[in-house]
A and B are shown apart, each in its own frame.
Chain A
Amino acid sequence: MEDDIALEEDFEGKPPLSEEENRLRKIRFEQEFYPHLGSLLRFSKTLVKEEDIAKDLVQETFIKAFRFMHYFEEGTNAKAWLFKILKNEFYSFYRKKTKEATFSGYESLEEETGEEDGLISQHAQNLSTEIFGQLIGDEMTMAINALPADYRMTFLLADLEGFSYEELAAIFKVPIGTIRSRLHRARNILKKQLTAYARGMGFKTDEDHDGL
């Protein structure tokens, strides 16, 4: 990934660390980065179905984090930094796997305005909240997995990990407005999907009565 290349170039010409420096680096690495391992693994598992691959991506993330640790500014957000690396790992894994230009293809969606979003939101709120309780995790996982990858990652990082718009903008290197629009769209798609599932299961939603 571009980030990696940039990092590699910077790395060249630096004097190797002394034994003592290296020892300290390891301690810092363990103290600052390992506590986030569980969060990254959970995130990776939601993105990739195959457990082994999910773990490999996290492993590779930590190995890179260690290698490039001198670029990590102490006192800044270690978790956000790790997720940024993991996101890149996921992208390159996904690109290798599909070779389709799926990611960039969806970006154009973000330029659209919110007229239709308002409608979806109105439509979805008719679904009573109790019905959601009846849906099982599988439907939800399927709905999340069906999201475009950029939306899915942004959404999961926001809702699962609680990153702020600003942190997300830094992780994805996009403007805050793009983050806001991705989240908005991702949630609307999910609401629509889950409404459809609930219907398919025979639950009546308020909307069914609209025509009466």
Chain B
Amino acid sequence: MMDCKTLLQLIQLYLDGEANTEQTELLLKHVNGCQDCRCIYEFETAFRSFLAKKMNEIPVSDREISELQKKISEQIQINES
């Protein structure tokens, strides 16, 4: 069984989408058998989704995007002439 300290790093790797199949298997196996690491794993997962949710609340409207796109196209046009 892998030690818990290694697992902490593996959790980050896994949540970053960087763990390979073997590492993923090791992680899930450990988490299933170790209460402490399961808590950490659950916490880290919740923390990530909390951050993602909050960050996606930053407003960017379609109108804003199309206005900026128009401005850029105009500026490119001006630069060219």
* A residues lining the B interface (CB < 8 Å): 22, 26, 34, 37-38, 41-42, 45-46, 55, 58-59, 62-63, 66-67, 114, 118, 121-122, 124-125, 127, 129, 132-133, 137, 140-141, 156, 158-160, 162, 164-165, 180, 183-184, 187, 190-191
- With a cutoff of 8 Å between Cβ atoms, the chain B residues found around residue A121 in the complex are 8, 40
Known: A125-B40, A129-B47, A132-B50. A37 touches B65 (CB 8 A): yes
- A45 close to B58 (CB less than 8 A): yes
- B69 close to A34 (CB less than 8 A): yes
Closest residue of chain B to A190, judged by CB?
B51
Contact with A along B53-76 (1 / 0, CB 8 A): 011111010001100110110011
Please tell me if B26 contacts chain A, counting CB pairs below 8 Å: no
Task: Name B1-35 residues within 8 Å CB distance of A.
Answer: 5, 8-9, 12-13, 16-18
Chain A contact residues: helix, strand, loop or mixed: helix
A-B contacts counted at CB < 8 A amount to 81
Partner of B46, one of A46, A129, A156, A164: A129
Closest residue of chain A to B5, judged by CB?
A118
Q: List 27 A-B contacts (CB under 8 A).
A: A22-B80, A26-B76, A37-B69, A41-B60, A41-B64, A45-B58, A59-B75, A62-B72, A63-B79, A67-B79, A118-B8, A121-B8, A125-B43, A127-B43, A129-B43, A132-B46, A132-B47, A132-B50, A140-B51, A156-B55, A159-B48, A160-B52, A160-B55, A162-B17, A187-B12, A190-B51, A191-B47
- A46 close to B58 (CB less than 8 A): yes
Minimum distance in angstroms from A154 CB to a CB of chain B = 11
Minimum distance in angstroms from B35 CB to a CB of chain A = 13
- A45 close to B47 (CB less than 8 A): no
- With a cutoff of 8 Å between Cβ atoms, the chain A residues found around residue B52 in the complex are 159-160
* B residues lining the A interface (CB < 8 Å): 5, 8-9, 12-13, 16-18, 39-40, 42-44, 46-48, 50-52, 54-58, 60, 64-65, 68-69, 71-72, 75-76, 79-80
Q: Which of B12, B40, B48, B60 has the most CB of A within 10 A?
A: B60
Closest residue of chain A to B40, judged by CB?
A125
**Cα distance A26–B52 in the bound complex, in angstroms:** 34
- With a cutoff of 8 Å between Cβ atoms, the chain B residues found around residue A122 in the complex are 40
Closest residue of chain B to A65, judged by CB?
B72
